[in-house]
Chains A and B, each alone.
Chain A
């Protein structure tokens, strides 16, 4: 297992998560892409040590890299590619509707924010 690859997974995850906590959707897209890369590299590490390309006839099986995690990683790459495009189109739609691509507060947050500054209890009609 290579320490450099492990470091790469850690770094990609850290940067990806940091970007994903931001509000602009364009940053979130980048963060998601980096996180996806982290997962793919983690899958490669899980496959064990590197070896010859796993193609029949090109190398003896003992010298080949483990093809199963590679197959899994390939599927994951395709899925995350499609989802990145969907996120981008969502950002475009949001921009067309509201003029920016910021992820807004949810309804509950807004209700709580709206209550700040109000008195805790509405003044009753017949306070003693």
Chain B
């Protein structure tokens, strides 16, 4: 009687152990599977666009103007326009964002200005991109009278990009060890000398990463440029920053929805170029970050 009971107990405990192990295995499989699922869409999207679009890519496609109602020729004006806009976005966004990040990380006390700056950044990050577009239309195109132009588009994209770049730059600056600042100032360096010589050089890789990620987002946006700069069809290149230009994301939207009889291959080809542009920016950011991290000696 007694033996049976203890055997029962042992079998029960054995069974429970088995069950725990099974649950553990199932959990591992499920969690790994879910994580894998995250990678799947990005691979599918890239593959799908690559397979359908690669046929359209040629030297002519990249360097020729669109012809015959955009159904033939290339995408050169749109590609160049997007590069110009990305560059302009950088000019607007980089000084402002780095200045703000240095202020927040190095100078900001707990005062009203700091609270306003932080509130502004959080809110800027939450504004839908179409609202930026309308703001750019009202503020830069109409009120400041820049017209539908590269200037107006760059300013709009630049403001939209600010929050991302400010936050990554601030994090990069805060990641520089506090001792460097204390030691530097104990050696008679001023606050600015300390920032210039001991903080920024070590924060630069992180800041560059943030800038590139911000710019790659700006390069792919449609809504902010819709009313501020993008031209429906303008094969001639812009002559000044106050001219309109074509841009890849908007061009893609146009040829995909607004032009009847558009060959599918050109649509996919355009999408592929835009995708590669944005992905290569992200790749550059990653390479810079890994390289700099390996080189630092602290």
- Interaction A to B: no
Which A residues are closer than 8 A to B by beta carbons? Answer: none
Which B residues are closer than 8 A to A by beta carbons? Answer: none
